[in-house]
Structure 1
Amino acid sequence: MAHEIEQFSDGTAAFVSAHQDAWHRLGTVTTSAMTAQEAMQLAALDNWNVRLVGLNATEPTPDGPALLDIPNHRATVRTHPKTGHPEALGVVGTDYVPVQNEEHAEFLNYLVDESGAHFETAGSLRNGRTVFLTMKLPQTMTIGQSDTVELYIAAFNSHDGSSAFRIVVTPVRVVCANTLRAGLSAAKSKYTVRHTSGARSRIAQARQALGLTFKYAEDFEKAAQRMIEAKMTTPMLRTVVEQLWPVSNADTDRKKTNQRTRWNTIRNLFEQADTQAAVRGTAWAGYNAITEYANHLAPVRGTIPDLKSAARAERVISGAADDVMERAFSLMTV
């Protein structure tokens, strides 16, 4: 399934959400905000005991199978949350140090104590290879006279060596639920910790990221306000779109057709969509037309409607369109 949420043989899933159901309709929905312990238990993330195990290979010989050690690599193994049996998650180098789910939650729990944030979602993806927890910050931003932007902190961790421990600050536009992560590098909206022997100490240092979060919010709000105050015409927006998705005379007819279709969709959002009514004719409306297209209307592969809808939803939660939105944000706030 496109959502990649881990599902178990007893019909449950490794996902929990506060207050509202998720698009994939899996897991548990709570009626109130969650503590770290509740999020871990309800999402089946506790007591995994991720550990490193030596790797071996067998080779047939005239005297029977020979057991060979594999140097410089280890398997990451967890205790399955339902069966209690060991389960391999991936292959890593010898300097890899697991970050337990409990440590993951402990970091975010510290932010709860400092900021008044609360846990919103938690879950396991790709059969335990990736886990995530998100928190909703108490601070909101008001942009213009009608848009309210709320801030979330999402922390991701992999147990198969595919990525580091990552913390991302994400603003979400409530009206259309677009993910508007803008990569304001000076605001430090990301924090990454590698899985090495110093990982735990660096996570402790990363707790200072909360203060940077509010600096990020201030910078984002100021930049968005400038976009609201900046007039934008349809030709000006087209210039931005052509920079984001450039097409040359030498390109194929198919690519040129796709360009025209994309532009017509974005132009319609900019000029006629109800979501832009309050800010029509501004750079903020242009930016939101681009993000709405990138997240929800850009083509996806396949022909089955349900699978295409799931793929679009997965694009939002996975951040697949983040690069386009960050470049659009940069082009419109220069």
Structure 2
Amino acid sequence: MSHPQILTTGFGSLLAAADPDRRSAWAQLGTPVANAGSAHEALVTAGLAGWNIRKLPMTSTEITPDGVTSITNPDEVMLAYTDPRTQATRYLSTVGKGYGVHQNEAGAAVIDTLVAESGARGTGYAGAIEGGRKTFVTIELPNLMHVDGVDTLQLHLVVFNSHDGETAFRVMIVPFRPFCANQQRIAIRDHISCVSIRHTSKSEINVAEIRSKLGLLYDYSAAFEAEAQRMIRSEMTGTEFDDLIREVWPVKKTAEARTLNNAERRTRELTRLWTSAETQAPIRGTRWAAFQAVTEYLDHRAPAKTLDVRAKRVLISKDLAEKKQTAYDLLTA
């Protein structure tokens, strides 16, 4: 299987984060599993193994003056699992009766195959969010993408599973900029960045099917590198960056004072990232720097109650993903 042309030597110094205390969303919410000898060991280390996810009837009891009546929902079931730490049965979610359960272990063969096929040393982080309704395992690919001899990116394969009826089992490729810990998951026209398997009653996690599509994922990374190189070679003015902010975060002049004040604070922070942040120093004044400023704001600077709340938003927020995509589309148009 051919891999994209990614340089691997001589750039170690560029991998040091500008802020050594900054963590990726995966590191913030997950458990380090790089020392695990297999995907199953990684799942055990992260507390994701042995859940025995199962369907239970949804039944309610009503007490009235006439007696006790039990009612069962004929259309939906409850997903429950066994907490491996306490062995207690816990609620996961409510799904349709036709929902197909994929145990966390079902993805282990996929993960081991991805590690073997990519040449990666093993897994990176594994974790659960939203009370276990979504889980993830990351695999850092061994090579580096060095954009135009100036900026360094890592490539990660990320395996997502879900137990909520909302999303499929997914394997996706995510470019990652270590210098600022930004995730760059972006859709590129005519290129596949994600392989999905829906949770239906007859669906199976087919290792051979996913393996056959790995080449398409690597094609995506080559396309992303080409677009990044084009952006890094394109200069951008401060006025154009201001226009970008207004396009990504449109705010009416007639908006209430709180909205206008929030917009002003956001613009100040974005402008600071664009003009003076150390994370943009090697690429300052380019369209690539503008994209990184927007991404860094969304991943690390946007207001959030806690670091965990912000990290979860990075991984699953549709609105955040759409803002990154809008910025990317405008900057590559």
TM-score where L is the length of structure 2: 0.82
Cα shift at 1:151:
0.9
SS of the equivalent of 2:111 reads helix
> Aligned match of 1:280 in 267, 281, 284?
284
What are the equivalent positions in structure 2 for 1:30-179 lying under 5 Å apart?
Answer: 32=35, 34-60=37-63, 64-117=67-120, 118-179=122-183
Find the aligned partners of 2:160 and 2:152 in 1 and give their Cα distance: 25
Could you list the per-position Cα deviations for residues 229-272 of structure 1 after superposition, in whole angstroms to 9, with x for gaps in the alignment? 11111111111111111223333344333333322322222222
Over aligned residues, Cα RMSD in angstroms?
A: 2.7
1:291–1:325 CA contact under 8 A, matched in 2: yes
Say whether the 8 Å CA contact 1:151–1:171 is kept in structure 2. Answer: yes
For 1:239 and 1:323, the matched residues in 2 are separated by 17
Structure 2: runs of 5+ lacking an equivalent: 1-22
Does 1 or 2 have the higher relative contact order (CA < 8 Å, sep 6+)? 2
Matches within 5 A, 1:195-234: 195-200=199-204, 204-234=208-238
1:19-78 CA distance string (max 9 Å, x none): x99898888545636420210111122222212222322233667423333212222122
Partner of 2:310: 312
Shift of the alpha carbon at 1:106? Answer: 1.9
Q: Is the 8 A contact 1:21 1:29 kept in 2?
A: no
Structure 1 pair 177/146, CA: closer, same or farther in 2 (3 Å)?
Answer: same
Equivalent-residue separation in structure 2 for 1:26 and 1:260 (angstroms): 30
Q: For the structure 1 residues 28 and 240, does the alpha-carbon distance in structure 2 shift closer, same or farther, using more than 3 Å as the test? A: closer
Letter of the 1:325 partner, please give it: K
- Secondary structure of 1:199's partner? coil
Choose from 190, 193, 200 the match for 2:194: 190
Which secondary structure does the structure 2 equivalent of 1:246 belong to?
Answer: coil
Any residues of structure 2 matched to 1:262-281 within 5 Å, and which?
262-281=266-285
2 CA distance for matches of 1:218 and 1:143? 11
Change (3 A) 1:155 1:23: closer
| Equivalent in the alignment of 1:295 | 299
State the distance in 2 between where 1:93 and 1:312 align: 30
Distance 1:323 1:283 in 2: 18
- Residue 326 (structure 2) aligns with: 327
Which string of whole-angstrom CA distances, capped at 9 and with x for unpartnered residues, describes residues 76-101 of structure 1? Answer: 12222123343332221111110011
> Contact 1:33–1:120 at 8 Å: present in 2 too?
no
Kept after mapping to 2: 8 A contact 1:105/1:133:
no
In structure 2, how many angstroms separate the alpha carbons of the residues matched to 1:185 and 1:56?
46
- Of 197-206 and 284-293, deviating more is 197-206
Contact 2:33 2:46 (8 Å CA) reproduced: no
Amino acid at match of 1:54: P
**Deviates further, 229-238 or 29-38:** 29-38
Change (3 A) 1:182 1:285: same
* Residues in 2 aligned to 1:84 and 1:265: alpha-carbon distance in whole angstroms: 46
Change (3 A) 1:29 1:170: closer
- Alignment partner of 2:76: what SS? strand
Q: Distance in 1 between matches of 2:37 and 2:154?
A: 18
Q: Which of structure 1's runs of 4+ aligned residues deviate more than 6 A? A: 20-27
Percent of aligned pairs with the same amino acid = 37
1:312 CA displacement: 3.5
SS of alignment partner, residue 235 of structure 2: coil
Distance 1:171 1:67, change over 3 A: same
C-alpha spacing 1:321/1:218, structure 2 compared with 1 (3 Å) = same
Residue identity matched to 2:324: M
* Residue identity matched to 1:154: V
1:200 alignment partner, SS class: coil
> Partners in 2 of 1:253 and 1:63 — Cα distance?
56
Mean CA deviation greater in 219-228 or 122-131: 122-131
Q: Which residue identity does 1:106 align to in structure 2?
A: A
